[in-house]
Every structure is written in structure tokens, then in C-alpha cells.
A and B are shown apart, each in its own frame.
Chain A
């Protein structure tokens, strides 16, 4: 995958996912290596995102690379009205790789078409965030010892949640069984169900969490946002139905792990943080190794 931009999770094959996961495993054992010495990587954050940016910058710093860029458009010439095209054209002359986050959908695809160097999409609006998906895969494999034949419950906002859509697409290579649990207004879109039907992947849709919490190997929580509801009354009725409480997981399988792309608001009760099932903080930490792996693979140095 040398020089191959990562814009959408479907840009990479199953073999490429596995290659990155194996590399990430290696970085988790030896995170500090001088692989990027004297190399410059641009981190262009056209929209602020503290966690994703720090994760990428940590990954680059641990490999002794140099970071240029901005974390806020007000500090760049974008605020003077420069187009994305011009910014990418110029920056791609200075660096070997561009990591970018942009509020508009499709911005990363466009950048990858005009850039001289590969582009990693660190989020383009509500569209794609493929490095999140790869770190989710890594976390699933790390906690379960495998990716094949797992039961995965996706909970919360399944309509607008980009992380659940990308995770579904990526996991559909590994014969999973899915439980889609959401309010009626935020159900999984048809196009994803058609995709699963086509691959003969089993799934169940429901509005209730129980009994899926006892059956699942992975419980993937997402935030149900108030602004997603057309009817505020519907939101009030459902907002507490998708909050995970400690007593709800007392009969969960011992290997079950709870993942969340973060930030969390109240959908996982803080009491769960100390249970063996809570894995979301480690999941975020895994992001550094996975991003080290992605950068090294694209630059062709691993």
C-alpha cells in the first residue's frame, strides 16, 4: 500500500487491514523507533479535533518525524479565503504525507486527487474516518484474539454514526453476526443492510438492549445526539434507553468488551469504567500504534 492514500475504509483490502494490524501489534511492543527521522508530515486540521490530532502527532513524534501544519483554520491562510486546492498543492510540496481533517464531506477524496503525496483522512465531516475503523479492528482482535465469527452489538445512533458504518463495512469481511440496537428514528440505513444481505451476513434489529448484551462479544456504543431527532419529545423518551449501566452487564460473557469511539457523554455510566468489560480508554491508546502502522505502511518504510 506504499503511496496509497487512505480516504475511506473501503479503499483498502482485507489483506491490507491485516497487514496494518500486524504492524500495529509490533509498534505496541516497540513504540519508539527512529523510522521517520528527518521526514516531514503535515497535519492539516481544518476543524479542531483534539483527540485525533494528538493521537497522530504522538504517533509521528514516537517515530521521530517532524510535524508541520495547523490545528485551527483561523491560524492559516484558509481564513484569508484560500481554497482547499491551493492549500493542498502548496503543502504537498513541503512534506511526504498529509494527514487531514476537514468539516466538509469528500474533502479528503478531493485532496488525495490533487496532492503529490498520499493523504490520510482523519475525518471529513459526517463521511469517513478510516483510521478510527482500523483502531477499532485492532482493539477487537486484541481483546478477542481473532476477527472471525464474532457477535457484535452496535448501539445508539446507527443512522448518522459514521464509525458504525465503516466498522460494519470492515467487519463484513470476517463473517460476523450483528445486533443493531437503536431508536426507530436512528435505524441502520437500508444500503448497509443490502450490503450484508448480499454477503449473507446475519443481523438482528431491535430497539431493546436486552438480551443482546449477554450474547455479544463486542458492544460498540455510540452517542445519541439530541440534534438528530426531528421531534424533541422522541428524544426525551429515548435518551435514557441507550445508557449502559453496570447492572445490565452482570451476565455478559467474560470475554465481552465495550468499545466507544469517544467522546462519551452519558451513554456509558462511569461505574462501568472499572469493570473488566470497559475497553474504551485502551481502545483510544491503541490508536497511536495503529496510526504509526498506517503512516509507516504508506511511506513504505515498514
Chain B
């Protein structure tokens, strides 16, 4: 069973299509242009723009995962999706956990905080 597929079978499993690349390209282009315009022309105050731009990046990542990397389009059992979701879990634990610890440390190291500590 551990044999290679024939070229035809391999080509058949490829999920890309001209339409998918066109959609991915146009949507990515629009999202990039939108975030560039928001920041470049200062359309929003910085505190709001951070969230808007992050949301646009997140959307673009999802679009590229679906249309360029074909996430979730493989045959069952979907090992690649499983690995992906596990990676997201590990990534969130590392990122949120570390940020929490580092900012907490930072706050405790502030000179003016010492008064409250004592």
C-alpha cells in the first residue's frame, strides 16, 4: 500500500484552480490595500486602527489558507487540518501565556508600583 501514486492520481488530488487563485489574489489585494489606506491616510484613530488592521490581516490569512494552501479540502481523515488546529492551540498558549507573564513582570518592575507593593 506504501506505493507512490501515478502522476495522474497526484494531479487529481491537487485542489488548486484558476478561479481559486483569482479569488485569493483579488481578496488579498483588496484587504492589503484597505489596511494600507487606513494607516497611510490616518482614517481611524490609532487605538481603533490597531484592531481593524489586525482583523483585516486575520481575514487575509484565512483567505490565503483556504484558496492558496487548500486547508480543509483534503480527503478524510483530515490529518493536515488536525495538525493545523493543534498548532493554533500551541501557538495561542505560547503567545497569550508569554505576553501575560511579560506584561505582568513589566508592571511589577515599574518604579512607581513599588509603593503599592510595600
Chain B associates with chain A: no
